[in-house]
Amino acid sequence: MTSSVKKRALITGASSGIGKATALAFAKAGIDLALVSRSQDKLEAVATAVREAGVKAQPYLLDLNQLDQVKTKIEAIAAEFASLDILVNNAGMGYTGTLMETPLADWQHVLDLNLTSVWQCILGVLPTMRQQQQGTIINVASIAGLQPFPGWGAYNVSKAGLIALGKTLAAEELAHGIRVVTLSPGAVNTPIWDTETVKADLNRSAMLTPEIVAQSILHAALMPQTAVIDSMTLMPSAGTL
């Protein structure tokens, strides 16, 4: 499904994993891209690959952990693009640890990145989308927000909060023509499993690939303006790992 109207999208966490795959899928669909990440070298490589597909791509270095800067910088990106149609909130972190054992600083860090920074990104694009009376905001949550897993306490809570954020936003912005999509994938084979905050030994070959998730995001983004996929659960055929 493609659109005859040129679209522009902003993707967070665009330098690897689901974000990178989504950028490449969007580029093939002819969507111009603002690519946000804190990894400059990887981000530049993705931007180059996107441009080779024949669309505009502008990389923006932004650490979403710097919450006091997120809203202002996202606003500036939206203004530079002049017409921003799609926001994909993909950036986030994994975290394993029981609630009993999770330090307060770790809890706050997970909630800040996985939930609060998403809220700030949304606030950064809402003025532009309201002015246009249209826009699509896609939040990448997780099956863990619907089916909490023991030993993933802070992560479960952050993703459940993201799902609630999406539902609230959809209700509040309906009158402004803004659509909100929440995607809750099962396990996806991304670099998140190699990070220091995740200690889990799962069969990564049985997981979803970033490309499969990206195609679901693209499908939701290209729905006709008169329709919306408000929520989507995407699982590996192997089931919950």
CA angle 16, 78, 75 (to 5 degrees): 100
Q: Which two tokens stand for residue 130?
A: 């309201």
CA torsion through residues 41, 45, 50, 54, sign: positive
Strands 86-89 and 8-12: parallel
Collapsed DSSP state (helix, strand, coil) of residue 68: helix
Say if CB 210 and CB 166 are below 8 A apart.
no
The residue from 155, 162, 185, 231 that is catalytic is 155
Q: Which two tokens stand for residue 129?
A: 């989308």
Q: Which letter does DSSP use for residue 225 in this model? A: T
Collapsed DSSP state (helix, strand, coil) of residue 150: coil
Q: Which letter does DSSP use for residue 115 in this model? A: I
Residue identified by tokens 């795959």 is 21
Residue 60 annotated as catalytic:
no
Q: Which of 189, 30, 236, 218 is nearest to 94 (CA)?
A: 189
Active-site amino acid positions: 155
